[in-house]
Amino acid sequence: RSPASPLRMSSARDSMQAVTAGACFCFCSVGMMFFNKMAIQAFPLECILVAMQMAFAALVLLTFGWSSLHFGSLIDVLRWFMVLPFFTGMLLTSILALKNAPMSLSITLRALSPLGSLLVERFYPDPLRITPAVIMSIVVTVVGAAVYCSSLEKEAMAGVGWVVLNSLIATGDRLVCRLLLAKDQCPVDLSKTACTLISNAGGVIPLTIAAYCKGEFSALPAVLATLTPWDSLFILLTCVIGLGISYSGIWAQSLISATSFLVMINANKFFIIGIEAFGLHTKVLTKTQVAGASLTLI
């Protein structure tokens, strides 16, 4: 065997891990967007809903994942705290975007996220290499998003602000996670379950305070009284899938760049657009919007 064989085996193993982690994240992402859309319609208290999802993830990890938790030092924990505002903000604005805008609009505009991450990652300790193919794919994505938005109905425009804000915060979250997770950047000495636990547990308190300030606890009894068994199931599924997407997101981000991660998310767009247009029948896509959404998938 040549001396390079162990290196090739390690590279192949890392590639397989990246594919597996990416596939898990995309699967959870489709489910999370679908069930979040159903949950927020039945339970329109966004701060409480996201706080419940994060508390569920933290409780499950503390109960069943205790043996896998590893905290290198207090400094590592404090460094990971940089992720908290981005992660919490990303979840909350995602719910608000789904509450106020069609799913197809959310996912199409998010296709612009790799633009920002591409520029920032050029300044990382191990900069991302930019190829003509990468630039061309992003240009086509931008054109597709512009075509899609050109024929938006007036009522859908009300949610554009939340979608744009969510895209910005999500990009920041991916960039910080990449910096703190990748072995070739500035990694923290924390296990993936520990990172997932801190991200979720750390967001519960500020979201609970925000829910109180917004008066959501006053409205809670009336909302609970109107919930059907199906509504409760949708809410439970968002909690379960939320744990999956939190962990698989950290797993995938430790293996690929933030830009690659954001581009990878585009892979689930076709399924979500299809679910909204042909499954839920909550959105009728025009030919122009179909063309624009298709461009972002290329």
| pLDDT at position 1 | 46
| pLDDT at position 4 | 47
| pLDDT at position 178 | 87
Where does residue 49 rank: exposed (0-12), middle (13-18), buried (19+ CB within 10 A)? buried
More confident position, 28 or 156: 28
Structure tokens at 264: 């990878």
CA distance 12 to 79: 31
More confident position, 195 or 109: 195
C-alpha closest to that of 199 among 77, 96, 97: 77
CA distance 298 to 292: 10
DSSP state of 214: T
Structure tokens at 131: 């190829």
User: For 43-82, what is each residue's pLDDT tens digit?
Assistant: 999 999 999 999 999 999 999 988 999 999 999 999 999 9
| pLDDT at position 167 | 82
Structure tokens at 166: 């969510």
| pLDDT at position 204 | 93
- What average pLDDT is seen over the chain? 80
Q: Is the pLDDT of residue 269 over 80?
A: no
Q: Is the pLDDT of residue 163 over 70?
A: yes
CA distance 223 to 133: 50
User: For 115-124, what is each residue's pLDDT tens digit?
Assistant: 777 777 777 7
CB 91: neighbour CB atoms within 10 A?
29
